[in-house]
Structure 1
Amino acid sequence: MAMQQKPTQKPLGAQISHMLKARGVDTIFGIPGVHNIEMYRGIEEAGITHVLARHEQGAGFMADGYARATGRPGVTYVITGPGLLNALTPLGQAWSDSVPVLAISSCLDEVAARKGQLHQMRDQEGAAATVCDWSETATSPEAAFVLVDRAFSEFASERPRPKHMQVPIALLGARADAAPEAAMLPTPPVARAEDVAAAAEWLLGARRPLFIFGGGAIEGSDAARALAAATGAASFCSFAGRGVIAGDDPLHFGAYLSRPGSAELIARADLVIAVGTELAEVDLWRDTLGHDAPLIRVDIDAATLNATAQADLAIQGDAAAFLSDLLALVEPHATPGKWDRDIIASARVRFRAEVDAARPGIAPICDALAAAMPADLMVYSDMTQFAYVAKEIWPMARPGHWHHPFGFGTLGYALPAAIGGKVGRPDLPILTIAGDYGFQYTLQELGVAVELGLPMPILLWDNAKLKEIEDAMVASQIAPNAVVARNPDFVALGKAYGTMAVKPDTVEALIAAVLAGFEADGPTLIHVTPDILG
């Protein structure tokens, strides 16, 4: 007589989907294949939406974009071997930019004694470990459940970075009990009271304090603004920290931290407090910050605190909680600082002129667009000169609304990431900005945007070449080589995918096309060339 299965048992792949649903996952981005079809058995039954990407790289970027827009982990399902490898670029981007993405893949059951299998590679787990916080193999249902909960626990309490777990094919199809009930998630570390008190004492004693806010300070924006107002502190932000301080604050230098002249301004401060920023190469584009004053660094990641600029006071803790606690100690006793607003205003004018001179003609288009966009606009940009200008001069009213491949710097990010963002936040107006070359890395994801009917204007900046590389070659006295590629008819290409597609000939027409794209019943490809300026 055959043994009866427990009523709660299902194939493990289905149980994982049910577990993810119980942990708050409502969307999975991925591509099914013969090796991971058991992962798909339970998706619909669990009540999870699956978004079918056209390439695993697109699926990974969609999960990243979803996570950045919603604040919840993004999840992607991929197959053994090439499927996972195709997702490594977006996982590397997520690691660089501290984005919570969980990639779950299938893997072969046996690789040591069997060779020549479909999708076989030498070390799949190790390959993912090069770009993820960790990469582990679940060899039992219990291990799979532990890994899922470990990922969500770490997303909630540590610097969020991508995780990869893989499950052998036979195990995915084997019947298993349901996952355990979700436990209460841990919280991020909080700065010690004595460290906050020391920072408050230093801040109250400073005459020209300067804050530098990074992407880790986004959730603490309200406290950051109140602190700056109470103390009269000046501030810079990294590109990821734009909007933490209002763009029109007269004591805010803006997102010009990477301008060489920012170093001499930072040297004017008698106290620098860097919150939620690595002060990395991609933040500064120079070897040193430029400060002569004591430096306080605050970060959730202990490894960051002295990695680039040595701190005089290093504080590990959640940035938002630190800013709130610091405000409570400082606000009742603060007196305005002694920063000269004219110096800050003139520096901003000078920095903007440098940006415009380096990449002429783009800034006026950004100004016109920014003035016409809805206040809650969310932008996803790619590695393109248009975005390089915009992320320095485009004012942000709120933080966490401009997403860019800041650290890893991969091409092809914007379109699929914006799709993930729009799926996660359908209520928000979302603008995609891509360049003609990088757009072609992931242009096939247009099919996803059309399939889902996503109202997404896509600003495609086409200067008909790899202009940034050409400029770098010229600056290095190298004859430009391999920087021009034949482009397709982008309007025709968009229409072939089923998008609305236009090529505006004036800036006014461009603005109208973007605004109309927010209200359309699908994506709008807007092909823009430098000729738009006449």
Structure 2
Amino acid sequence: MTQRPLGAQISHMLKARGVDTIFGIPGVHNVEMYRGIEEAGITHVLARHEQGAGFMADGYARATGKPGVAYVITGPGLCNTMTPLGQAYSDSVPVLAISSCLDETSAKRGQLHQMLDQEAAAATVCEWSYEARSPSATYQLIDRAFTEFTTARPRPKHIQVPIALAGAMADGAPPALPKPAKPQVSHTQLYDAVAMILKAAKPIFVFGGGAAAGADVVADLLRMTGAASITTYAGRGIVPPETPLYFGSTLARSDSADVFAQADLVIVIGSELSEVDLWRDTLGQDCPMIRVDLDPSVLAQGRAEDLLLHGDAEAFMRAMAIAIPARIDDRDPCWDAAYVAQYRARWRAETDAERPGIVPICDALKAMLPSDALIYSDMTQFAYVAKEVWDMDAPSLWHHPYGFGTLGYALPAAIGGKIGATDQPVVAIAGDYGFQYTLQELGVAVELNLSLPIILWDNGKLKEIEDSMVRSQIAPNAVVARNPDFCKLAEAYGAASSRPHSLDALAQDMKKALAHQGPTLIHLTPDILAD
């Protein structure tokens, strides 16, 4: 077995575990980790800021389903990556951050990049954070991370390697072990669930992002059970948009609680029903619930009459699709399709009234984009509207910083997504304020010649915050900042730009941007509807 410095061996191990791309920024503390990247045959993407590197790894993971990997330095490098790691944690994204760390911190103070407890700091936003103090520990932690990514709820991990250890000679990593299977719902529990569903007079399914891999059987499940359905924002595309009893991605509408109050059984698959899913304390049901999730902590929220199933959502859905036809033919609808359509129309109108002028632009963009386009959005009013009115044709196509809710996500995440998705169309949607958190990553998109339309929604202010202040009877304060000329700024980086003044012009500009070899910033303002 060839000996190399451990930093080089780490890259070779990652390559052997299927990693083809690493996002990061080299520094004097982690330089040894860069020794083996090219030799191992891994592509390194140089971010302009460690926050960008973390978001790129997140976007890559969401686009490919493979772990995103970031290399960062001790101290500030890791701190800058903690915001993306927090986002990956809240949205269940497999990201592995590998950083350097100082060899000694207890008896030696005032060192470059020194923190009081770097390992503990990263643990606040990762599922776990450990220091590897030997080559074997390094390899075991990497394999543990990759095993957990595929067998449990995927959440970010952090491994730090002391500077001296990274440069020390080490044997190579052992061969990869076979990955264990995800936990499975038992046959007894499966048939208990099927019996409850077929007995119910008004069942309703709630699909979260964790159910995405089983989306191809959802239409059959809904037809065979006669059930209604609703999705979280992350679950959009799991239910085909044309499904008659589909309430849409409207779980957060306050009066969706009235819908659940009419159900006699709720089946929640792959969702923790968090605050950012509901924006209220309870779902609103007064009936039993079947809950399927990989995360045992989610199941701890159940009640005595619920059926709580710890297991893989995809396997459960596929097993149900087989078990139900053996018991029953297609079932008559349990809900009134006109009733569902009425709710959807009212919620769409409410969404348009709350943030006027965005719904028509969403409709126009949806009509002009390829149905398989990957979309990465930021915390912006445009995305808040789109999440409710823009039905997706397939799951895992729209990616948003749902839980942690960080600004600056869209551009770097879309860059990582485009690198992972290669020929698949990718679009970024950002607001004028959040875009400026990570706009420097335009340099990466230009450098890599990525075909990437960037829709910049510019209403000249922090409009969502202004609206919140007004609702709270607070005089709007600190919600307007001087913006640059965004088109000139994009051109200074070497990107193309446009400023369409009508929806027809937007369609033409988007067509050009999708075909352009390089990023294109498309600057939109509310005035686009004026003509």
Same fold (TM over 0.5): yes
1:188 corresponding residue in structure 2:
182
1:458 equivalent to 2:451? Answer no
Query: Which SS does the other structure have where 1:454 is aligned?
Result: coil
Matches within 5 A, 1:60-75: 60-75=54-69
2:11 corresponding residue in structure 1:
17
Q: CA deviation at 1:341?
A: 0.4
Q: Classify 1:308/1:205 alpha carbon distance in 2 versus 1 (closer, same or farther; 3 Å).
A: closer
Number of residue equivalences: 528
User: Is the CA contact (8 Å cut-off) linking 1:207 and 1:337 kept in structure 2?
Assistant: no
User: Is the CA contact (8 Å cut-off) linking 1:223 and 1:320 kept in structure 2?
Assistant: no
1:282 equivalent to 2:276? Answer yes
2:143 corresponding residue in structure 1:
149
Any unmatched runs of 5+ in structure 2?
none
For the residues of structure 1 that align with 2:47 and 2:261, how far apart are their CA atoms? 48
1:3 corresponding residue in structure 2:
none
Q: CA deviation at 1:305?
A: 1.4
User: Is the CA contact (8 Å cut-off) linking 1:279 and 1:309 kept in structure 2?
Assistant: no
Q: Classify 1:521/1:311 alpha carbon distance in 2 versus 1 (closer, same or farther; 3 Å).
A: farther
Matches within 5 A, 1:121-200: 121-200=115-194
Query: Which SS does the other structure have where 2:335 is aligned?
Result: coil
1:449 equivalent to 2:445? Answer yes
2:85 corresponding residue in structure 1:
91
User: Is the CA contact (8 Å cut-off) linking 1:204 and 1:333 kept in structure 2?
Assistant: no
1:527 equivalent to 2:523? Answer yes
Moved over 6 A (4+): 308-311
1:104 corresponding residue in structure 2:
98
1:323 equivalent to 2:317? Answer yes
1:396-430 deviations in whole A, cap 9, x for unaligned?
00000000000000000000000000000111101
The partner residue of 2:200 within 206, 213, 226 is 206
2:436 corresponding residue in structure 1:
440
Query: Which SS does the other structure have where 1:399 is aligned?
Result: coil
Q: Residue 120 of structure 2 aligns to which amino acid in structure 1? A: G
For the residues of structure 2 that align with 1:190 and 1:347, how far apart are their CA atoms? 36
1:216 corresponding residue in structure 2:
210
1:302 corresponding residue in structure 2:
296
User: Is the CA contact (8 Å cut-off) linking 1:8 and 1:177 kept in structure 2?
Assistant: yes
Q: Residue 169 of structure 1 aligns to which amino acid in structure 2? A: I
1:160-212 deviations in whole A, cap 9, x for unaligned?
00000000000000000010011111221111111111100001111211000
2:512 corresponding residue in structure 1:
516
1:503 corresponding residue in structure 2:
499
Q: CA deviation at 1:368?
A: 1.0
For the residues of structure 1 that align with 2:305 and 2:493, how far apart are their CA atoms? 52
Length-normalised TM-score, structure 2:
0.98
Q: Residue 403 of structure 2 aligns to which amino acid in structure 1? A: G
For the residues of structure 1 that align with 2:14 and 2:374, how far apart are their CA atoms? 27
1:241 equivalent to 2:235? Answer yes
Query: Which SS does the other structure have where 1:423 is aligned?
Result: helix
The partner residue of 2:472 within 450, 473, 476 is 476
1:76 equivalent to 2:44? Answer no
2:388 corresponding residue in structure 1:
392
Matches within 5 A, 1:361-372: 361-372=357-368
Bigger shift: 248-257 or 32-41?
248-257
For the residues of structure 1 that align with 2:381 and 2:511, how far apart are their CA atoms? 22
Q: CA deviation at 1:311?
A: 6.5
1:4 corresponding residue in structure 2:
none
The partner residue of 1:343 within 326, 331, 339 is 339
1:108-167 deviations in whole A, cap 9, x for unaligned?
000011111000010000000000000000000111000100000100100000000000
CA RMSD across the alignment: 1.0
User: Is the CA contact (8 Å cut-off) linking 2:219 and 2:243 kept in structure 1?
Assistant: no
Query: Which SS does the other structure have where 1:411 is aligned?
Result: coil
1:429 corresponding residue in structure 2:
425
For the residues of structure 1 that align with 2:335 and 2:95, how far apart are their CA atoms? 41
1:417 corresponding residue in structure 2:
413
User: Is the CA contact (8 Å cut-off) linking 2:228 and 2:334 kept in structure 1?
Assistant: no
For the residues of structure 2 that align with 1:480 and 1:197, how far apart are their CA atoms? 56
1:47 equivalent to 2:41? Answer yes
For the residues of structure 2 that align with 1:307 and 1:59, how far apart are their CA atoms? 35
1:439-491 deviations in whole A, cap 9, x for unaligned?
00000000000000000000000000000000000000011000000000000
User: Is the CA contact (8 Å cut-off) linking 1:455 and 1:521 kept in structure 2?
Assistant: yes
2:348 corresponding residue in structure 1:
352
1:312-357 deviations in whole A, cap 9, x for unaligned?
1110100000111112111233322321000000000000001000
Any unmatched runs of 5+ in structure 1?
1-6
1:233-282 deviations in whole A, cap 9, x for unaligned?
10000000000001121110000110012111111111110000011110
User: Is the CA contact (8 Å cut-off) linking 2:374 and 2:427 kept in structure 1?
Assistant: yes
Q: Classify 1:311/1:132 alpha carbon distance in 2 versus 1 (closer, same or farther; 3 Å).
A: farther
For the residues of structure 2 that align with 1:74 and 1:365, how far apart are their CA atoms? 32
User: Is the CA contact (8 Å cut-off) linking 2:21 and 2:69 kept in structure 1?
Assistant: yes
User: Is the CA contact (8 Å cut-off) linking 1:274 and 1:295 kept in structure 2?
Assistant: yes
Q: CA deviation at 1:223?
A: 1.9
Q: Residue 449 of structure 1 aligns to which amino acid in structure 2? A: A
User: Is the CA contact (8 Å cut-off) linking 2:260 and 2:284 kept in structure 1?
Assistant: yes
Q: Residue 86 of structure 1 aligns to which amino acid in structure 2? A: N
For the residues of structure 1 that align with 2:215 and 2:450, how far apart are their CA atoms? 30
For the residues of structure 1 that align with 2:90 and 2:512, how far apart are their CA atoms? 34
User: Is the CA contact (8 Å cut-off) linking 2:302 and 2:308 kept in structure 1?
Assistant: no
Query: Which SS does the other structure have where 1:331 is aligned?
Result: coil
1:252 corresponding residue in structure 2:
246
Query: Which SS does the other structure have where 2:130 is aligned?
Result: strand
Matches within 5 A, 1:257-276: 257-276=251-270
